[in-house]
Chains A and B, each alone.
Chain A
Amino acid sequence: MISIHNLYKTFHANTINENKVITDLSLKIEDGDFITVIGGNGAGKSTLLNLIAGSIMMDEGKIFIDDVDVSKMIENKRAKYISRVFQDPNSGTCKDLSIEENMSIAKRRGKIRTLRKGILKSEKSEYQNLLKTLDLGLENRLNAKVGLLSGGQRQALTLLMATLVKPNLLLLDEHTAALDPKTAKTVLELTEKIVAENKLTTLMVTHNMKDAINYGNRLIMMNKGKIVLDIKGEEKKNLTVNDLLIRFEASGDDNIISDRMLLD
């Protein structure tokens, strides 16, 4: 279980550009939860993910992962518990290393890097079998540099890498936003499959209302650095875009529905 208590983050504090991105945010994530996070531009979705991952340090608050206090832990230490897929397909993989070398790096997530061989023979067949499940033909290109792959292929590979060592929490930061609609759909379906098969606890940021409704067992909506809606269980299953719009209006602030969310 991941619990977040009274998180605060302000950018450019005490200047004219002061921006309170996260204010007094608390959240409990149960094991096996697949939460979709939705909200307009500047709602604080990405900042929340960065705070959880430790790539930005919080001003105040506490984060616990299974009773471990990670609040002060730096990003690379937290990586032991958390894996990520970024919005930019280039961010999750290293273009100058081959597919199998990238996977070998992910296979050692959270472990100390030694002067042992970077990749063992026994690993190669394991990776080949895993790549087969992606059904993208990558299983025959273990030695190809990742820089040669398409955005969708790189995102699928990043997803696979993020789950090579089962994380306590998987963070997906609009990981299909930079892909064309068809590829985005493939990657999303793959995400659902991998999350279900490995029973991963997942936090997925999206700006697409339909995706937020169709995927996961819980939906949270953010506005001005706070969680304004938290829908789970039966209610989440039966949720429609219309319901969501009505709930937004009821929450008193209709600015939160950005054009981008509606257009998608």
Chain B
Amino acid sequence: MNSIIISAISQGLLWAILAIGIHITYRILNISDLTSESAFALGGALVATCIVNGIPPLLATLIATLGGSLAGFVTGFLHTKLKIPSLLAGILSMTGLYSINLRIMGKANIPLNMDDTLLTNAADLLGFTRDRDATIVLGILVAIIIVLGLIWFFNTEFGFSIIATGSNDQMIRANGVNSNVTIIAGLMLSNGLIALSGALVSQYNGYADVGQGIGAIVVGLASVIIGEVIFKNKNFFITLIGIIIGSIIYRLIVALVINTDFISANDMRLFTAIIVAIAIAMTNLNFRKSKVKRS
């Protein structure tokens, strides 16, 4: 039982970065960006290919992150410059990236269990005998850096512009900001984080798989929504902490559900999709109810 909790916390921390990326597009930019699915796999593909080719894990992880940003740039370019609706632009990127990921990896799955990863490096550095313990330390460290970085970023002039673009692009253009630039920047930030998450999860799992991003957007949304349910406060810091805790809780639920007799690991995506659908429907229905009462 104890080890289930520890593993849920480790995985939750790594997947939380994905959820924070989803939050940036879904909640801040108001775009349902499907690039996320393939950007997560791209992170894994890049990090695994780099590591097996002898590139140091830290550098490999950075390359994976930049790769995700590039994917976000492509989606942003398709959407803003070529005027393709955002949902379709994301689908195009996702579909195209699947082939690119296979090209990068050369096969559908690359094992990493014989190689040094960021996690084994961290374990060596910290003197842990088990990588699992290092994962928690590393996960917390990465989470702190990301939370502080995002709080700083979204309080800059440029950060304000991105937030304003998401809620009212007419207003931000009328104030002299090119909303194409802010949308592209937001997508690059989001997908960079998602690829970073994919890279870390691959190193934790000990392999990269071309299919590892399938359902990632729903998993991320589930974490975002769990976080919002726990912390109703709209303060950005609390929101980010909520997402991280939401991600950990989601992993705990997964661990508990898989251990029951009637749901197997194969059913998890259906289970998650239903949970997210119910959660979003409930917030919408509550909203409608309170509206009726007021009038």
Residues on A lying within 8 angstroms of B by beta carbon are 53, 55, 74-77, 79-80, 83-84, 86, 90-97, 101, 104-106, 108-111, 113-119, 145
A93–B170 alpha-carbon span in the complex (Å): 9
Which of the residues B157, B167, B168, B234 comes within 8 Å of A113, measured between beta carbons? Answer: B157
Q: Is the CB of A75 within 8 A of B164?
A: no
Evaluate whether A94 and B164 lie within 8 angstroms (CB atoms) in the complex, with A113-B158, A115-B157, A115-B158 already known.
Answer: yes
Q: Is the CB of A101 within 8 A of B156?
A: no
Residues on B lying within 8 angstroms of A by beta carbon are 153, 155-161, 163-164, 166-168, 170-179, 234
- Within the complex, the shortest CB–CB distance from B176 to chain A, in Å, comes to 4
- Within the complex, the shortest CB–CB distance from A62 to chain B, in Å, comes to 22
Residues from chain B with Cβ under 8 Å of A96 in the complex = 163-164, 166-167
A77–B173 alpha-carbon span in the complex (Å): 9
Residues from chain A with Cβ under 8 Å of B177 in the complex = 76, 105, 113
Q: Is the CB of B158 within 8 A of A105?
A: no
Residues from chain B with Cβ under 8 Å of A145 in the complex = 234
Residue of A nearest to B176 (CB): A79
Chain A interface, DSSP helix/strand/loop, else mixed: loop
Q: Is the CB of A94 within 8 A of B163?
A: yes
Residues from chain A with Cβ under 8 Å of B171 in the complex = 91-94, 105
Q: Which of the listed residues B153, B166, B172, B174 has the most CB atoms from chain A within 10 Å of its own CB?
A: B174
A201–B163 alpha-carbon span in the complex (Å): 31
Evaluate whether A86 and B170 lie within 8 angstroms (CB atoms) in the complex, with A76-B179, A101-B160, A116-B156 already known.
Answer: yes
Q: Is the CB of A105 within 8 A of B172?
A: yes
Kindly list 11 other residue pairs between chains A and B, CB separation below 8 angstroms, not including A92-B174, A95-B167: A53-B174, A55-B173, A79-B174, A94-B171, A97-B163, A105-B160, A105-B175, A114-B158, A115-B158, A116-B156, A118-B157
Residue of B nearest to A164 (CB): B175
- Within the complex, the shortest CB–CB distance from B80 to chain A, in Å, comes to 12
Residues from chain B with Cβ under 8 Å of A106 in the complex = 175
Q: Is the CB of A117 within 8 A of B156?
A: yes
Q: List 16 A-B contacts (CB under 8 A).
A: A76-B177, A76-B179, A79-B176, A91-B171, A93-B168, A94-B171, A95-B168, A104-B157, A105-B161, A108-B175, A108-B176, A113-B156, A113-B157, A115-B156, A116-B156, A119-B155
Residues from chain B with Cβ under 8 Å of A92 in the complex = 171, 174
Q: Is the CB of A91 within 8 A of B170?
A: yes
* Closest CB pairs A-B (n = 8): A79-B176, A113-B157, A94-B164, A118-B160, A110-B176, A96-B167, A113-B158, A115-B156
- Within the complex, the shortest CB–CB distance from A117 to chain B, in Å, comes to 6
Residue of A nearest to B27 (CB): A96
A118–B161 alpha-carbon span in the complex (Å): 9
Residues from chain A with Cβ under 8 Å of B153 in the complex = 115
A74–B153 alpha-carbon span in the complex (Å): 27
Residues from chain B with Cβ under 8 Å of A109 in the complex = 175-176
Residue of B nearest to A92 (CB): B171
Q: Is the CB of B176 within 8 A of A77?
A: yes
Residue of B nearest to A171 (CB): B174
- Within the complex, the shortest CB–CB distance from B81 to chain A, in Å, comes to 13
A76–B172 alpha-carbon span in the complex (Å): 8
Evaluate whether A114 and B172 lie within 8 angstroms (CB atoms) in the complex, with A94-B167, A96-B163, A105-B161 already known.
Answer: no
Q: Is the CB of A118 within 8 A of B172?
A: no
Q: Is the CB of B178 within 8 A of A76?
A: yes
Residues from chain A with Cβ under 8 Å of B161 in the complex = 105, 113
A79–B164 alpha-carbon span in the complex (Å): 16
Residues from chain B with Cβ under 8 Å of A93 in the complex = 168, 171
Q: Is the CB of A105 within 8 A of B164?
A: yes
Residues from chain B with Cβ under 8 Å of A115 in the complex = 153, 156-158
Residues from chain A with Cβ under 8 Å of B168 in the complex = 90-91, 93-95
Residue of B nearest to A80 (CB): B176
Q: Is the CB of A104 within 8 A of B156?
A: no
Q: Is the CB of A111 within 8 A of B176?
A: yes
A114–B155 alpha-carbon span in the complex (Å): 11
